[in-house]
Amino acid sequence: MTLLHLDSSPLAGASASRRLTAAIVAAAQEANPALAVVYRDLAAAPPAHLGGDALAPRGLPADQLTEAQKAEAAVTEELIAEFLAADVVVVGAPMYNFSIPSQLKAWIDRVAAAGRTFKYTETGPVGLSGGKTVIVASTRGGLYSEGPASAMDHQESYLKTVFAFLGITDVRFVRAERLSLGGDQRAQAMDAALAGIQAVLPVAEAA
């Protein structure tokens, strides 16, 4: 079994989502010592946002590409290959302005590739990446899982939608909310999220 570990927060050691993804991966490795882990830090080395050079290579033969387009195609191919090879994907996804960090969005834009991770058919798009489990470490400053602010959640709802589009319906969340309140409330939120990790591990189900 292969696990792809993605972090997207630029806050390094101060990041709540990084603390959660590290704990999720550690728990998965403890449950399955043979687990192979591939790590990518999307904040430290973010893929470029989609531009002309990144979009042009799709569908063109290699001999028609510029050197810049070939370089972008190589980045995209590396990200797609990592994603397709993974049985489990652990995603660190803090909420930024009601959505996800742009670094994570850039990764999604690379791996959402027609003919590779989904395809178009006469009856609509079909995901080609099924059979995986995605575990999202979701961190939020406020309360968005319920109440009036739930309508502003374009973070977890977006991730569910885009992974379903790629064929992945098994998307699980480890969530810490109200982190901006600080102090004991932040600590309690993190403790509760950490305590919930075992319940979302697919390796625990297979044990």
Q: Which domains does the chain have, with CATH numbers?
A: 2-206 (3.40.50.360)
How far, in Å, CA of 49 to CA of 8, rounded? Answer: 14
pLDDT (0 to 100) of residue 205: 44
| Binding-site residues | 9, 15-17, 95-98, 139-142
- pLDDT reported for residue 12: 94
Lowest model confidence (mean pLDDT) among 35-39, 57-61, 90-94, 156-160: 57-61
For residue 207, pLDDT over 50 is answered with no
Binding residues for FMN, as ranges, are 9, 15-17, 95-98, 139-142
Collect all residues with Cβ–Cβ distance below 8 Å to 88 and sequence separation of at least 6: 1, 2, 3, 4, 28, 132, 133, 134, 135, 202, 203
- Check if the beta carbon of residue 107 is closer than 8 Å to that of residue 42: yes
Chain segment 16-54, per-residue pLDDT in tens: 999 999 999 999 999 999 999 999 999 999 999 999 899
Let me know if 52 is exposed, middle or buried by CB neighbors in 10 A (0-12, 13-18, 19+).
Answer: exposed
- How sure is the predictor about 202, in pLDDT bands with cuts at 50, 70 and 90? confident
Render 61-126 in DSSP notation, one character per residue.
-GGG--HHHHHHHHHHHHHHHHHHH-SEEEEEEE-BTTB--HHHHHHHHHH--BTTTEEEETTEEE
> What integer pLDDT is reported at residue 206 of this predicted model?
40
Answer yes or no: is pLDDT of 59 > 80. Answer: no
Average of per-residue pLDDT across 142-155: 96
Q: Which helix H or strand E contains 177, and what residues bound it?
A: none
pLDDT on residue 61: 83
204: pLDDT strictly greater than 50: no
Task: Please say if the pLDDT value at position 199 is more than 60.
Answer: yes
Give per-residue pLDDT as tens, 91-113. 999 999 999 999 999 999 999 99
User: Is the pLDDT assigned to residue 6 strictly greater than 60?
Assistant: yes
